[in-house]
Each structure stands twice: as C-alpha cells, then as structure tokens.
C-alpha cells in the first residue's frame, strides 16, 4: 500500500502536496503526490535540515541539490525506525513532540512500517522526478 496519495485518493484537507517542477498553476494537481499530515510530521526534520527556509503550510520550490540532502535525512530516519528506542526516535524526529498525536505514539509499531514504506516510496518518486525537473515544489495544504 502506498502512502503517497494521488488527487483522487484524498479523503480530507490535511495534506502536503509535492509537485514535480515549478508550480505555475493552482494547487491540487493530478501530477502531484500528497502525504497526510500524520505521516508528514516525520519528514519535517529531514526537509528542514536539507532546506533551511522550509516552514509548514507554505509553498517552496526546492532545488534538486537540496532534495539530495533531504533524501539523506530520510535515509537516517528509516535507520532510526528500527535501531532506536521509541523515546530516542521521537526526539530525533520531532523536537516539538507535543505536535504529534497521541495515536501516533501508541501505534508506534504499526506506524513504523507505514513511515518506512512511505519514505521508500517518496525517495523513489523524488528521484524519478529529478531526472527531468530541476526542482520539486512542496506545498502545505
């Protein structure tokens, strides 16, 4: 099961959109992939480390070279998922722990698999998009 959603799979309004290339039209595009907020929270530190201007709920055209740094951060998160205790993982993933939902923490083992699969799929999607695009636009919806 892919945790990268397409436009027709969105069930609510709480997503982050990744658009291949420079976004020159409105949001909610068929060529984009969407990540639910509950999973996206685990990606924030890697994105912020790879692209310092990043803030949630804004639009950023992130250049190719930054995405390679972000991918390195994603790989570290995947390693932490299986090699560290829950408390260590949560401190690494989200310094402002209070923003994580209680259900995310109590369902850690299940979520760990989802996060791992989502990061794998996201890395694959990013690498494919960067073959033909100089950037990927990230939009907080």
| Contact call for residues 5 and 34 (beta carbons, < 8 A) | yes
**Predicted local distance difference test score (pLDDT) of residue 139:** 93
What does pLDDT average to over the chain?
A: 85
Say yes or no to pLDDT of 8 above 70: yes
**Predicted local distance difference test score (pLDDT) of residue 2:** 78
User: What is the tens place of the pLDDT at every residue in 62-100?
Assistant: 999 999 999 999 999 998 887 865 555 555 555 545 555
**Predicted local distance difference test score (pLDDT) of residue 82:** 79
For 17-28, what is the mean pLDDT?
93
Reported in sequence order, the residue ranges of the chain that DSSP labels E, i.e. its strands, are: 15-20, 33-36, 59-63, 135-140
| Closest by Cα among 10, 12, 76, 5 to 42 | 76
Strand order in the sheet with 135-140: 33-36, 15-20, 135-140, 59-63
**Predicted local distance difference test score (pLDDT) of residue 80:** 86
User: What is the tens place of the pLDDT at every residue in 86-138?
Assistant: 555 555 555 545 555 555 566 677 778 888 999 999 999 999 999 999 999 99
């Amino acid at each position: 099961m892919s945790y990268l959603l397409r436009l027709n799979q969105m069930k609510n309004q709480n997503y982050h959109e990744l658009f291949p290339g420079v976004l020159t039209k409105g949001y909610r595009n068929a060529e984009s992939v969407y990540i639910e907020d509950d999973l996206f929270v685990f990606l924030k530190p890697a994105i912020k480390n790879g692209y310092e201007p990043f803030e949630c709920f804004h639009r950023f055209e992130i250049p190719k070279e930054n995405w390679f740094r972000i991918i390195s951060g994603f790989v570290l998160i995947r390693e932490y998922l299986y090699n560290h205790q829950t408390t260590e993982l949560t401190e690494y993933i989200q310094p402002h722990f209070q923003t994580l939902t209680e259900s995310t923490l109590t369902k850690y083992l299940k979520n760990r698999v989802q996060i791992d699969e989502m990061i794998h799929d996201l890395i694959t999607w990013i690498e494919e998009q960067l073959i033909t695009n100089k950037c990927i636009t990230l939009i907080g919806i």
